[in-house]
A and B are shown apart, each in its own frame.
Chain A
Amino acid sequence: MTSRILFNQEMDKLNEEVAQMASLAREAVEKAVRCIVNKDPVLKAEVERLDREIYHMEQIIEKRCLELIALHTPVAGDLRTVSTCLKIITDLNRIGRYASDIVEVYEVVASDNGFHRPVNIPHMASLVVAMVTDAIDSFIRRDDRAARQLFDRDDEVDCLYDLNFRAILTYMIEDPRKITVGTHIILIARYLERIADHSCNIGERVVYMVTGERMNPKDRKKSTSRTCVNSSTSLKQDDLDSMQRSDHDLAEK
């Protein structure tokens, strides 16, 4: 029933390649987080290799997109798909880059004993990895509802970043010997927060691809940090305990 065989083949290849690049990005983030949290040196080289591959794929996919546009003049749904692919490969590339940035400071962080009070980087990291996974899934499944749900989770991640920032700042003031490692951990938290942002970007593009709707910027940033502080006081005791436990493990090592 379908015509334009060549065009459809090219579109299928595009989807495959973007899905492949996305899974590489997800793998990079996951491995970067494990590298830092579990102090696994092998993963550092892995992540750096993945970053290079991701970069290479961006170039391949961009070229394919431009060829599709020039030769096949896609319109309507096809056009939105191609333009979405063009944009999210940028986001995926940045995600890969941040993953590589995270493992860059492995030596400094690994050699340190951590802080004597909890810092919930692992929790934040697991949220971010989940966001990346879900963003990619929503693209592959063309599910705009799932994509919209990412924005609330981004708010949560932003909250955690603020918390961590303040906490580590306090620790650094208390103990100046921890300033170097503290700064690096702040940066790691920052990178994670940026990865979450890029996942949101992907979600926004998926909404456009499926519905043709361009989201209002106001929809993205619903809460301010002020509200976030409020929500931090309402953190459940379990969460605090689990955070304390995992950081205690960190501190013990």
Chain B
Amino acid sequence: MVKIMNGSIQVKDLNVWFDQNHALKGVTFSIPKNEITAIIGPSGCGKSTFIRCVNRMNDIVPKCRVEGQIIVNGKNIYDPDVDVVEIRRRTGMVFQKPNPFPKSIFENIAYAPRIHRREEPSAKQKGEMVVKKYTKKELENLVEASIKRAALWDEVKDRMNKSAYDLSGGQQQRLCIARTLAVNPEILLLDEPCSALDPIATAKIEDLLVDLKKDYTVVIVTHNMQQAARVADKTAFFYLGELIEFDKTETIFERPKEKLTEQYITGRMG
């Protein structure tokens, strides 16, 4: 699997409206690459809205208007000449409730790479022949590598052709992570990935994230502050659509600068 080149994200004055509701107000900060950045805040503060802007998933929501810039690798992803589908490949997303396809484990992982291979432009000008199809062996290797990277191989290597729905919640979520890794993204976005899981499964996924940050930029939305404290290098606190504070995790949890931040993390908000 190819190592990523870049992956830092600069957010500049991001504003989002859902109809008349101003969901995100002037958010500006920089997410460093090869680090885990956690986004915390009470319900409805805009953290999920924000993360869905980074891979433009908000485009499919009707009546959603986005202004401002999100610059990944020097290019604003909201520029009109940008290929949304390519953005989404480079920015993988794992959702709150594990959502594997109702197919076999193998097919779950193989689905997207197969399509992307087919879509690759042929490199005729280079004089090379780009093969539009994976051989069986290539695909198997890719699937195996993805599942190994997601720390799931030992548990599923004997049942690659069984339905993904036979796995436990934690395993399904790791399968979703493997599925995302298979398309070789630069950035991993996780929207409350452990909220539906038990503590043991949660711990496994947190260990996995700490391992993954070597190769990817990880952004995780979580309502569990202890999780943010455990795994994140930097933490951003959102409240009512605004970014209140963004700093190293140790600082946020030991000596937050904003009173609102202190109120929220000590549980004295509402």
A and B touch in the complex (CB under 8 A): yes
Residues of A within 8 A of B265 (CB): 75-76
Q: Is the CB of A73 within 8 A of B226?
A: yes
Q: Which of A1-9, A31-39, A195-203 contacts B (4 or more CB under 8 A)?
A: A1-9
List residues of A (11-33) whose CB comes within 8 Å of B's CBs: none
* 12 additional contacts (CB under 8 A) given A3-B270, A7-B267, A75-B254: A1-B268, A3-B267, A3-B268, A4-B266, A4-B267, A4-B268, A73-B226, A74-B266, A75-B266, A79-B254, A80-B254, A212-B255
- Does B32 interact with chain A (Cβ within 8 Å)? no
- Does A77 interact with chain B (Cβ within 8 Å)? yes
Residues of A within 8 A of B254 (CB): 75-76, 79-80, 212
Closest chain B residue to A1, Cβ basis: B270
Give the complex CA separation of A77 and B258 in angstroms.
12
Give the complex CA separation of A77 and B225 in angstroms.
15
- Does B215 interact with chain A (Cβ within 8 Å)? no
What 10 A-B pairs are tightest by C-beta distance, nearest first? A212-B255, A4-B267, A75-B253, A76-B262, A2-B268, A75-B265, A78-B266, A76-B256, A76-B265, A76-B266
Residues of B within 8 A of A2 (CB): 268
Closest chain B residue to A78, Cβ basis: B266
Shortest CB–CB separation between residue B231 and chain A, in angstroms? 15
Give the complex CA separation of A76 and B261 in angstroms.
9
Residues of A at the B interface (CB closer than 8 Å) are: 1-4, 7, 73-80, 212
Taking each of B226, B261, B265, B266, which has the highest tally of chain A beta carbons within 10 Å of its own beta carbon?
B266
- From A3, A75, A212, B225 is in contact (CB under 8 Å) with A75
- Does B84 interact with chain A (Cβ within 8 Å)? no
Do most interface residues of chain B lie in helix, strand or loop, or is the interface mixed? helix
Shortest CB–CB separation between residue A208 and chain B, in angstroms? 9
How many contacting A-B pairs (Cβ < 8 A)? 37
Residues of B within 8 A of A3 (CB): 267-270
Total interface residues on B, CB under 8 Å, equals: 16
Q: A212-B254, A212-B255 are in contact. Are A77 and B262 (CB under 8 A)?
A: yes
Closest chain B residue to A2, Cβ basis: B268
- From A4, A75, A212, B229 is in contact (CB under 8 Å) with A75
Residues of B within 8 A of A75 (CB): 225, 229, 253-254, 265-266
List residues of B (221-270) whose CB comes within 8 Å of A's CBs: 225-226, 229, 252-256, 261-262, 265-270
Residues of B within 8 A of A74 (CB): 266
**14 A-B residue pairings within 8 Å (CB atoms):** A3-B267, A3-B270, A4-B266, A4-B268, A73-B226, A75-B225, A75-B229, A76-B253, A76-B265, A77-B266, A79-B254, A80-B254, A212-B254, A212-B255
Give the complex CA separation of A75 and B83 in angstroms.
43
Give the complex CA separation of A80 and B254 in angstroms.
7
Residues of A within 8 A of B225 (CB): 75
Give the complex CA separation of A7 and B265 in angstroms.
13
Taking each of A2, A3, A76, A77, which has the highest tally of chain B beta carbons within 10 Å of its own beta carbon?
A76
Taking each of B253, B268, B270, which has the highest tally of chain A beta carbons within 10 Å of its own beta carbon?
B268
Closest chain A residue to B229, Cβ basis: A75
Q: Is the CB of A76 within 8 A of B255?
A: yes
Give the complex CA separation of A212 and B258 in angstroms.
13
